[in-house]
Structure 1
Amino acid sequence: MAKKQLQNTDQKEFIFQKKNYIIMFIGLAFIVLGFILMSGGGSDDPNVFNPDIFNFRRIRLAPTLVLLGFGIEVYAIMLNPTKKK
């Protein structure tokens, strides 16, 4: 009896299931992609203005991907994979 109780206490249980972690990695990929798309556009010479910092990719697309990634992360945390539909 004591050996069986010892085995039960030794097992570690994760907070999330495999499905949660997969969705979290997808959200993380969206966030990283958004920050990569947001980078660049600077000028080598500080006296020269580069209007590329205001293009669609940096102003609209990249922040949208980052926010979408955070939304996916929240969904992955709130998801209960053991719940039956």
Structure 2
Amino acid sequence: MAKETTKAQPQKQVPQQSKSVFPLDKINLVLIAICIVLIAVGFALMGGSANEGSNFNYDIFSTRRTVVGPTIALLGFVLMIVAIMYKKKGNNKPNDASSEQA
């Protein structure tokens, strides 16, 4: 009976994957939630009853429905862009793994 010799096979080294980093921080998500609420409030202010048959409803041209509601909704949409792009001043961590030096 012959001895079986087994060579230790070199284990493959799996390259370390850089941990996935979510591009938005907690403050961004809070600001986005606030903007969604602003947009919903703006659309709610634009809502109301419509004309009913032969009676004309002058409330459809009220300031709340034609100026205040759309302004708040537009403000929510503009602030949404700001909320997505907002970055803290102290958060200057490089995301590129090749720039890290050991």
- Structure 1 and Structure 2 fold alike (TM over 0.5): yes
Q: Which residue of 1 aligns with 2:30?
A: 22
Alignment partner of 1:63 out of 58, 62, 70: 70
Kindly indicate whether residue 61 of structure 2 is the aligned counterpart of residue 54 of structure 1. Answer: yes
Name stretches of at least 5 consecutive residues in structure 1 with no aligned partner.
none
Post-superposition CA distance 1:21-43 (Å, at most 9, x none): 10011111000000011011313
Counterpart amino acid of 2:67? Answer: R
- Higher RCO by CA contacts (8 Å cutoff, separation 6 or greater): 1
Alignment partner of 1:13 out of 5, 17, 21: 21
The alignment's TM-score, normalised by the length of structure 2, stands at 0.67
Q: Distance in 1 between matches of 2:33 and 2:79?
A: 9
For 1:24, what is the secondary structure of its paired residue? helix
Greater Rg by CA: 2
Q: Which residue of 1 aligns with 2:80?
A: 73
Greater percentage in helix: 1
Post-superposition CA distance 1:10-62 (Å, at most 9, x none): x442120000010011111000000011011313x222210001111101100
RMSD: 2.2
Counterpart amino acid of 1:55? Answer: S
Alignment partner of 2:40 out of 29, 32, 51: 32
For 2:23, what is the secondary structure of its paired residue? coil
Name stretches of at least 5 consecutive residues in structure 2 with no aligned partner.
1-12, 91-102
Number of aligned residues: 80
The alignment's TM-score, normalised by the length of structure 1, stands at 0.79
Post-superposition, which runs of at least 4 consecutive aligned residues in structure 1 deviate over 6 A?
Answer: none
